[in-house]
Amino acid sequence: MSSLLLPFAIRLSDGQLVSATDVPRGAACNCICPGCQGALLARQGTEREWHFAHVQATDCPDGYEKSVHELAKQRIQQQKLLLLPAIEASAQGWDAYGRLVEKKQSVMEARPVQLDECTKSRPRGEVTPDLTGFRKDREILVEITVFHRLMPEKQSRLIETGVPTIEIDLSVFKTQQATLERLDAELFENPRNRRWIWHPKLEEAKATVQAEVDAQIKAVQAEWEAKERLRPEPMPKPIWYQVRNATQFPTEAPTFDGRRWRAGLPEEARIATAIAELVSRTGISEDKVLALTRALTSRGMLEDITPTELATRWSHVLGLEEQEMALFLIEADYVL
């Protein structure tokens, strides 16, 4: 920041802010600093941009910022030209599937307006905006920031006025040397360095897009809930998965983790399908399995045995692992 040169000064003859190009060189410039009111010299050298320097070396922390701020106000007031930022609202949210829902509404493009009149620092209720513009019977407030952000308290007061208000952000000059040309470009040609602090149409648009986002999220939520009600019970994990992840099967899980026998024996076709699966998984003889299942002729035969016990028993008969038989009993629909 210390490398920034004082670009503008107050000319004593008329109180106007001027560039070092507008005045005679040296002390003849007859200018003072907008920050400390100290006398200045106009430096018109060949190595650096023309600028002002304090006659007496002084600590002047505000001079640069004030000079930019004051000249920005003066330029808009002189030109009576205000570049209005676009009015556009957006809202976002997440739906039941975790998808981003985003709505945007553009009410007005950025556009320049010619003001009928523009006044500096005119108090408005409890707040004094940098500029007040008038166009026909309308009013607009302008706040210009350079080094410091707009304080929330001042922003609230500006909003309370109920008058459309914009902020122009000239923080680019924190790091970039300000010149009249660059300042004019920022003020009159850059729609992206400004925003609406308050505008009735912006508030309307914000409410509209928010309602649209809320409605979509709600609709997706309802759709999700409806699908959830129709969704079958999640598929059980194959019993061998549980077995591999358990330490003491089967003694610790005597009923397949809460599974129990169905009220009736499964359909023949269901059993046949499960047998075919078991045969293809293990290479066991189909007839051997059929011999076991056909021996189970009534549901009553299962009254005194748990699914785990039957799986164990059949695994011994067939020479297969218990978990294979457990899986078979589930696939054949013997258990709930």
Q: Where on the chain is the footprint of Zn ion (CB under 5 A)?
A: 33, 35-36, 38, 60, 63
Q: Name which of 61, 50, 11 is nearest 32 in CA terms.
A: 11
Q: Are 92 and 50 in contact (CB under 8 A)?
A: no
Distance (Å, whole) CA 141 – CA 161: 9
- C-beta of 10 vs 202, nearer to Zn ion: 10
Least separation in angstroms between CB 28 and Zn ion: 19
Going 224 to 225 to 230 to 235, the CA torsion angle's sign is positive
Residues constituting the chain? 336
- C-beta of 38 vs 236, nearer to Zn ion: 38
What would you report as the CA-atom Rg of the chain, rounded to the nearest whole angstrom? 41
Going 25 to 29 to 34 to 37, the CA torsion angle's sign is positive
Least separation in angstroms between CB 63 and Zn ion: 4
Q: Name which of 162, 161, 159, 179 is nearest 170 in CA terms.
A: 179
- C-beta of 31 vs 118, nearer to Zn ion: 31
Least separation in angstroms between CB 35 and Zn ion: 4
User: Helix (H, G, I), strand (E, B), or coil: what is residue 95?
Assistant: coil
203-231: b (≥16 Cβ within 10 Å) or e: eebeeebbebbeebbeebeeeeeeeeeee
Per DSSP, the residues of 6-59 read: B-EEEETTT--EEETTSS-SBGGG-EE-TTT--BEEEE--SSS--EEEESS---
Going 19 to 20 to 22 to 24, the CA torsion angle's sign is positive
Q: Name which of 30, 29, 33 is nearest 54 in CA terms.
A: 33
- C-beta of 63 vs 250, nearer to Zn ion: 63
- C-beta of 66 vs 199, nearer to Zn ion: 66
Least separation in angstroms between CB 177 and Zn ion: 17
Least separation in angstroms between CB 38 and Zn ion: 5
- C-beta of 36 vs 292, nearer to Zn ion: 36
- C-beta of 66 vs 103, nearer to Zn ion: 66
Least separation in angstroms between CB 6 and Zn ion: 7
- C-beta of 36 vs 150, nearer to Zn ion: 36
Least separation in angstroms between CB 9 and Zn ion: 9
Least separation in angstroms between CB 41 and Zn ion: 12
Quick one: which H or E segment has residue 133? strand 131-135
Q: Name which of 330, 319, 315 is nearest 274 in CA terms.
A: 330
- C-beta of 60 vs 172, nearer to Zn ion: 60
Least separation in angstroms between CB 200 and Zn ion: 41
Distance (Å, whole) CA 179 – CA 241: 74
